Amino acid sequence: MQKNSPFITLVTPDAPIAVQTHGGRAKCLQRLFRLDLPVPTTVALSFDAVHRLASGDMPDIPRLIEPFGDDQLLCVRPSSEDPDWGGPRAILNIGINHDRHAALIGSIGKEAADEIYLRFIQAYSEHVARLDPDMFDDIDLSGPDALRAALEVYEDEAEEPFPQDMATQLGGVLRSMARAWEGTSARLLRMAKGAPADAGLGLVVQAMVFGLGRGESGSGVLQLVDGDTGMPVIKGRYLTQSQGREALEAGAKSLFLTCDSRGPSLEEAQPEAFANLISHAQLMRQKLREEMQMEFTVQDGEVYILDGVRIQRSARAAVRIAVALAEEGIISHEEALMRVEPRALNELLHRQVNPNAKRDVIGAGVAASPGAASGRIVFTEAAAQASAARGEACILVRRQTSPEDVRGMHAAAAVLTERGGVTSHAAVIARGLGLPCVVGASSLRFQTKQRLLTARDGRVFREGDILTIDGTNGEVLSGEPEMLEATLDGAFKQLMIWADETRDIGVRANADTPADAKTARNFKAQGIGLCRTEHMFFEEDRLTVMREMIFADDPEDRRAALERLLPIQRADFVELFKIMGGKPVCIRLFDPPLHEFLPSNRTGMRDLAEALDLPLSDVERRIEALSEYNPMLGMRGVRLGITVPEIYDMQARAIFEATLDASKDGAPVVPEIMIPLVSAKREVELVKKRIDAVAAAVRTERGEAFSFRLGVMVETPRAALRAEDIAPHCDFFSFGTNDLTQMTYGLSRDDAGRFMSAYVQQGVYPEDPFHTLDAEGVGELLELGATRGRAAQPNLTLSVCGEHGGSPESIAFCRKVGMDYVSCSPFRVPVARLAAAQLTI
């Protein structure tokens, strides 16, 4: 055989074999040869060879089998570029025929020889001759006559004797595997796993080691860590008198590898073979720089290595493995950082449904906040609180949520809504609380008044029934599957330290309450990038004062309400500043879309009438007067600040007084004040003038100095376009990509969930733009705003504080356009830190 021919290559340490031309398995086997491990003779067929084979161009079989010698049986296994793309099943024992069978009886015994022949007849019939696999059903495969019967059945069905010639058998196997790969269903399946349409398949032809016959013979798999936990442990199975993975998986009586209470082990039965295997596995780990599962065969006490595959692992195991390899100096810190998918960290940060647990999926929606929780379903916030008081986990089910539901959300273990998308109220609040949440679950029927939830298959769930919300993938499950707890172990912390040493873009957190701020600090956020002050008023007594302020008809009433809000705000800010210990805190002035703060039903209105000591009809009239056709584009943000300036005056005063109070016994504070929903420079001029006046007043009253930074949220397209006018009045811009996406697309944040999946499925949008920043459209506005802003004000600090701040793709974009930091929900901070680090490597 011509060695190293482009299509057929004998696998040797120096042969020209690459993952991109021969696939991952061929490359791995070459590495094992380089380590001088006992690997049986192997020949690799390139992607080109297999492609030509599928179109009928048979390789030179005599040349292919030349390196194996005359009496060798062979096996063929697939070798795709990425093992996850799958491939046809391996076929073993190619070359067996009457003569070799007779010879094998002499060397390994009749039982083993019969089994080898029988297995090959079955595989050949099904995969090469494409005969009905049921045709052997009537044969007792363990009976003494099984082989003769199988040969007869084959001859009947195929209308020809079973092929006796190695070249015919091998050619048939190779062709069938090549064609299986090119088939439409295999193609669609691998494309769904991310393979390109023209992904190639390599094949490896290897000398068989039987694992059957005299002496200790068998096959097994072995690895040095646990794929679920990542902890070092020798794991695997070994089945005496068996061939290949499939036999092992089916084998009921397999031996465990190490001595334990479960039964006999390979370690006891064959201490020498066991010791060899461990040292081979350790060498593989060291030199292949990866945790591998080793497939091996023992033949008459001698060990052979057939293959090595990267072990499947959970996210927590991936972190432990990467950190352990880096700590042992096997890989670099940078490589460890690159080996963990940032989003996979969610699995460590939140409880998850055990991937091995059975899932009874009753519906699905938008995965709005990761993690999973089970509980009894409740349909009102009062019922959620009652559940919490009883110490019972509950799932809050609502059509959508509003500030009235926030206490219920605090009391619940998870939230499920019929409406909404990734930036709707329920989603934003749940992410802040670290609560699993699925929104926009319109495949389920919500009858909240009747307290019923109907699954797509017609099953009806009532209040008190147990469901599980999987906010990581957006599924709603019936019952309580087994969970895996969150684990922030030493390996996670170490990986994060390396990430922080590596990245060059800042990561802050969006935090509205002291609890959020503590989470942000624990996840090592470099400050608060967005404190939505209206979210500080979700607790009932505060909500009432807030509503009183919104409801006030005249300046006198409003002043009274604001006077009550001032000390509450001041105390909140002092606490936030103290928790953040001198790190920057960016406080956004009120931006309450009014509809979120008004009662939505009669009970709510009655409660409000009682709290405000007003007749119900007055409350109804006022709500009517305040209601807007399109509240997200109505009296929000700076528009409220301009028309009712006392509100921002109060907030500025609370911020400045808190700055002085917190700086007294803590780190000095330089607060950042941010104006929302700006679209014209005059808005900034007006608000800035009043804030400067409040600052001057507080300095005079207190006789103390302080400084602050003032900036705007760039979240309307006009603010981005007119950034050059606005920037001279600002120290910073923070891009609010939630509203900017909403307004650029003309797409409601709260309603888009209803049709988003149809849009994504049909390729209208590549992804949900509220989830992954639309780099082409919204991104262009970001880039424009950043460039124009910096042109007018070179020291302008730039950041993003929309939900995109936590998405790895969006962080890459932000870094590219020169942002100083991103800000995201506290629980997304670690994901952002790792994603940011990967961008620099």
Give the residue ranges of the annotated binding site for Mg(2+).
715, 739
Q: Note if 425 is an active site residue.
A: yes
Residue 230 binds to ligand PEP (criterion: CB under 6 A)? no
* Residue type, position 424, single letter: S
* Binding residues among 407-446 for ligand PEP as defined by CB under 6 A: 423
Residue 236 binds to Mg ion (criterion: CB under 5 A)? no
DSSP symbol at 87: -
Residue 596 binds to Mg ion (criterion: CB under 5 A)? no
Catalytic hit among 127, 333, 425, 771 = 425
Residue 641 binds to Mg ion (criterion: CB under 5 A)? no
Site size toward ligand PEP (CB under 6 A) is 11
Nearer to Mg ion, 211 or 593 (CB): 593
* Binding residues among 555-614 for ligand PEP as defined by CB under 6 A: 591
Min dist. Cβ of residue 739 to ligand PEP (A): 3
Return the range that interacts with ligand PEP (CB under 6 A); candidates 247-255, 470-478, 571-579, 734-742.
734-742
Rounded distance, CA 387 to CA 381, Å? 10
Task: Read off the tokens for 250.
Answer: 């089916």
Of the candidates 178, 227, 186, the residue with the CA atom closest to the CA atom of residue 23: 178
Among 737, 744, 807, 838, binds ligand PEP (CB under 6 A): 737
Residue 218 binds to ligand PEP (criterion: CB under 6 A)? no
Residue 534 binds to Mg ion (criterion: CB under 5 A)? no
| Phi/psi-derived region of residue 409, left when phi > 0, alpha when psi is between -120 and 50, beta in every other case | alpha
Which residue has tokens 């979120």? Answer: 596
Q: Which of Mg ion, ligand PEP, none sits in contact with 737, Cβ below 5 to 8 A by type? A: ligand PEP
Task: Read off the tokens for 551.
Answer: 């409801």
Min dist. Cβ of residue 797 to ligand PEP (A): 16
Are the CB atoms for 317 and 228 separated by under 8 Å?
yes
Task: Read off the tokens for 718.
Answer: 């006009």
Binding-residue pattern over the window 696 to 715 for ligand PEP, x denoting contact by CB under 6 A? -------------------x
Nearer to ligand PEP, 352 or 519 (CB): 519
Residue 512 binds to Mg ion (criterion: CB under 5 A)? no
Q: Which of Mg ion, ligand PEP, none sits in contact with 661, Cβ below 5 to 8 A by type? A: none
Nearer to ligand PEP, 30 or 423 (CB): 423
Q: Note if 410 is an active site residue.
A: no
Min dist. Cβ of residue 432 to ligand PEP (A): 11
Binding-residue pattern over the window 308 to 347 for ligand PEP, x denoting contact by CB under 6 A? ----------------------------------------
* Residue type, position 715, single letter: E
Residue 752 binds to ligand PEP (criterion: CB under 6 A)? no
Which residue has tokens 């052979």? Answer: 304
Rounded distance, CA 729 to CA 692, Å? 12
Among 126, 307, 470, 739, binds ligand PEP (CB under 6 A): 739
Q: Which of Mg ion, ligand PEP, none sits in contact with 801, Cβ below 5 to 8 A by type? A: ligand PEP
Binding-site annotation: residue ranges:
532, 588, 715, 736-739
Min dist. Cβ of residue 737 to ligand PEP (A): 5
* Residue type, position 517, single letter: A
Binding-residue pattern over the window 52 to 81 for ligand PEP, x denoting contact by CB under 6 A? ------------------------------
Return the range that interacts with ligand PEP (CB under 6 A); candidates 32-40, 225-233, 335-343, 733-741.
733-741
Among 100, 320, 532, 547, binds ligand PEP (CB under 6 A): 532
Rounded distance, CA 594 to CA 631, Å? 7
Residue 381 binds to ligand PEP (criterion: CB under 6 A)? no
Min dist. Cβ of residue 368 to ligand PEP (A): 13
Return the range that interacts with ligand PEP (CB under 6 A); candidates 412-420, 445-453, 518-526, 731-739.
731-739
Are the CB atoms for 124 and 172 separated by under 8 Å?
yes
Q: Which of Mg ion, ligand PEP, none sits in contact with 530, Cβ below 5 to 8 A by type? A: ligand PEP
* Binding residues among 691-720 for Mg ion as defined by CB under 5 A: 715
Nearer to ligand PEP, 414 or 801 (CB): 801
Task: Read off the tokens for 342.
Answer: 């940032």
Min dist. Cβ of residue 245 to Mg ion (A): 54
Nearer to Mg ion, 139 or 712 (CB): 712
Rounded distance, CA 551 to CA 535, Å? 18
Cβ burial of 157 (10 Å; 0-12, 13-18, 19+) is: middle
Rounded distance, CA 691 to CA 648, Å? 8
List C-alpha distances in Å: 799 to 103, 578, 675, 716, 807.
76, 23, 14, 15, 14
Of the candidates 518, 559, 555, 510, the residue with the CA atom closest to the CA atom of residue 535: 510
Site size toward Mg ion (CB under 5 A) is 3
Residue 744 binds to ligand PEP (criterion: CB under 6 A)? no
Residue 408 binds to Mg ion (criterion: CB under 5 A)? no
Among 226, 404, 512, 739, binds Mg ion (CB under 5 A): 739
Task: Read off the tokens for 829.
Answer: 């901070």
Nearer to Mg ion, 235 or 431 (CB): 431
Specify the pairing of strand 74-80 against strand 201-207.
antiparallel
Which residue has tokens 């690997």? Answer: 39
Min dist. Cβ of residue 517 to ligand PEP (A): 17
* Binding residues among 776-805 for ligand PEP as defined by CB under 6 A: 801-802
Residue 807 binds to ligand PEP (criterion: CB under 6 A)? no
Rounded distance, CA 502 to CA 500, Å? 5
Min dist. Cβ of residue 471 to ligand PEP (A): 19
Q: How many CB atoms lie within 10 A of CB 309?
A: 17
Specify the pairing of strand 797-800 against strand 732-735.
parallel
Residue 829 CB contacts under 8 Å (≥ 6 apart), including other chains: 507, 509, 520, 523, 524, 525, 806
Are the CB atoms for 176 and 182 separated by under 8 Å?
no
Among 178, 294, 495, 530, binds ligand PEP (CB under 6 A): 530
β-bridge mates for residue 373, sequence order: 469
Min dist. Cβ of residue 824 to ligand PEP (A): 10
Nearer to ligand PEP, 251 or 736 (CB): 736
HEC letters along 101-115:
HHHHHHHHCHHHHHH
Q: Which of ligand PEP, Mg ion, none sits in contact with 660, Cβ below 5 to 8 A by type? A: none
Cβ burial of 754 (10 Å; 0-12, 13-18, 19+) is: middle
Residue 736 binds to ligand PEP (criterion: CB under 6 A)? yes
| Phi/psi-derived region of residue 249, left when phi > 0, alpha when psi is between -120 and 50, beta in every other case | alpha
Sheet of strand 42-45, all strands in order from the earlier edge strand to the far edge: 8-10, 42-45, 201-207, 74-80, 91-94
List C-alpha distances in Å: 831 to 373, 386, 808.
21, 34, 8
Q: Which of Mg ion, ligand PEP, none sits in contact with 202, Cβ below 5 to 8 A by type? A: none
C-alpha triplet 584, 658, 635: angle, nearest 5°: 80
Rounded distance, CA 111 to CA 142, Å? 9
Min dist. Cβ of residue 805 to ligand PEP (A): 8
Specify the pairing of strand 292-299 against strand 218-225.
antiparallel
Q: Which residues bind ligand PEP (CB under 6 A)?
A: 423, 530, 532, 591, 715, 736-739, 801-802
Q: Which residues bind Mg ion (CB under 5 A)?
A: 715, 736, 739
Q: Please identify every residue annotated as catalytic.
A: 425, 801
